[in-house]
Amino acid sequence: MCGRLSQYDGIHDFVAALGMPNALVNNAGDRPLERYNAAPSTQLALFHQEGEYLHADMVRWGWRPHWAKDRAAPVNARVEKVAHGPFYRAIWPHRAIIALNNWFEWVDEGGPKKQPYLIRRRDRSPILCAAIGQYPNDEQEQGEHDGFVIITADSAGGMVDIHDRRPVTLSPELAREWLDPATPRERAEQMALHQGEPTEAFEWFRVGYAVGNAKKNDGPEVIEPMAQEGLF
């Protein structure tokens, strides 16, 4: 999975997709987020649960432990290793959901530049991605080392032609179970490994090269299909 995504709906749209009646502690605001071309280190809306409360906070995309000073902050974590590797040991218990509208990948199709593709759900509903991180909670305030990573797995079906990795996306029911602090870690690992949504839930199409420059191009134009582009 490449490091670019869209998160342009509002918090309440994402809460509705989660289907959680819990009281919401909203530190992300009520306005649409309007991030059409978010890159690593961007502050994005992240959900976690404490007790019966659902929390929404703006958290940096990318995290590394304080002791890994010479390593770039990863934005993704491989599902095959995340539960048991030492790098993510401190944040594996801190499960979260990052709700996306879509993400982007780049494919070498033999041209002068790699071709960008947008991937979204066929029904256009938000994509609920499994994540872990360090973020404000009842026990610690916001800090300079806060951040999160998206858990990724091998792609399957036609999506393999776009990229060999993809986010672990969960149905609303499983996303709620993932967020629930009462869900055992072993159960969470099995969900991430084996119960991600199927490729058939998604569609993808080519978009313009402007998406390659996140600093200059972060408007709705970057999610528009190329002229006469069909869906896959």
Query: Residues 78-119: pLDDT tens digits?
Result: 999 999 989 999 999 999 999 999 999 999 888 899 999 999
pLDDT at residue 232 in the model: 67
Long-range contacts of 212-217, Cβ-Cβ distance < 8 Å, separation of 24 or more:
212/106, 212/113, 212/116, 214/4, 214/37, 214/38, 214/39, 217/37
Residue 231 belongs to a domain:
no
Q: What is the mean pLDDT of residues 121-135?
A: 97
Residue 77 belongs to a domain:
yes
pLDDT at residue 36 in the model: 98
Q: Is residue 123 a contact partner of residue 17, using CB atoms and an 8 Å limit?
A: no
Q: Is the pLDDT of residue 159 over 80?
A: no
**Taking all residues of the chain, what is their mean pLDDT, rounded to a whole number?**
91
Q: Is the pLDDT of residue 18 over 90?
A: yes
Which residue segment(s) compose the domain that 154 sits in?
5-223
pLDDT at residue 142 in the model: 81
Residue 214 belongs to a domain:
yes
Q: Is the pLDDT of residue 158 over 70?
A: no
Residue 228 belongs to a domain:
no
Q: What is the CATH number of the domain that holds 31?
A: 3.90.1680.10
The total number of structural domains in the chain stands at 1
138 or 73: which carries more pLDDT confidence? 73
Q: Is residue 157 a contact partner of residue 132, using CB atoms and an 8 Å limit?
A: no
pTM: 0.93
Active site residues: 2, 105
